[in-house]
Amino acid sequence: MKKLVLLLVCCAPLWAVAQTATPAANDPAERNKMLYSLGFLLGDNLKKQLILDNEDDYKAVSQGMRDSLLGKASQTDIEAYKPQILQKYQEDARLISEKREASQQEYLEDFKKEKGVKVLDNGAMMKLSKAGKGKAAKADGSATVHYTGTLIDGTVFDSSRERNQSFTTRLTDVIPCWTKALQQMKPGSRAKVVCPADTAYGSRPVGPIPANSVLVFDIEVLEVK
């Protein structure tokens, strides 16, 4: 699915959300909610990079941010603490990566044990919820589908259903996981397809999809050519 998510996901970064209808910016209450939302997003991004263990950690970080935003003098010697800050980023990145890898491996192992799961020859897995009829697409054929793509925590990164627009693609133009799975699916069939990172985007981050991500798709085949 090299073109699928690359084309569709990259069209929906954070700035694109701002192009949708928003509350009046000159309303003080709405401005306050917008700024709160901005702070929440900044905190969410920081949470993905650092391990903050308790309320004291949160208070220290928020106080530093507050003093900086208000133009106050730092309460510490910033230069002296830069090496420790860098070390924390590096160590936390390692720990976060290890935890994420462990949770993804557990997800793959648990899904593999479910009744009806088929392991494809490239390591991707699928579980049909509806069989469909007719012939499946060949490796050099094409298919029209509806799909929803998520990370293992359920975060949706792309969905033709949300756009209410089906997606037509050649099987040679998608990620290896899709190429193999669609060859197993007849028109009218629906399946949960789980793609290990090496059958998806590997170490390459794509839009909101982090590097080395296991991807989960709910795919419904509408037509095969």
Active site residues: 147, 157-158, 175, 201, 217
120, 181 in Cβ contact below 8 A?
Answer: yes
H or E stretch including 36?
helix 28-47
147, 218 in Cβ contact below 8 A?
Answer: yes
The Cα-based distances of 49 to 41, 55, 91, 93 in angstroms read: 13, 17, 10, 6
Burial class from Cβ neighbours inside 10 Å (0-12, 13-18, 19+) for residue 152 reads middle
The token pair at 130 is 């509806």
* Strand spans (E) along the chain: 117-119, 125-130, 142-150, 156-159, 167-170, 190-195, 215-224
190, 159 in Cβ contact below 8 A?
Answer: no
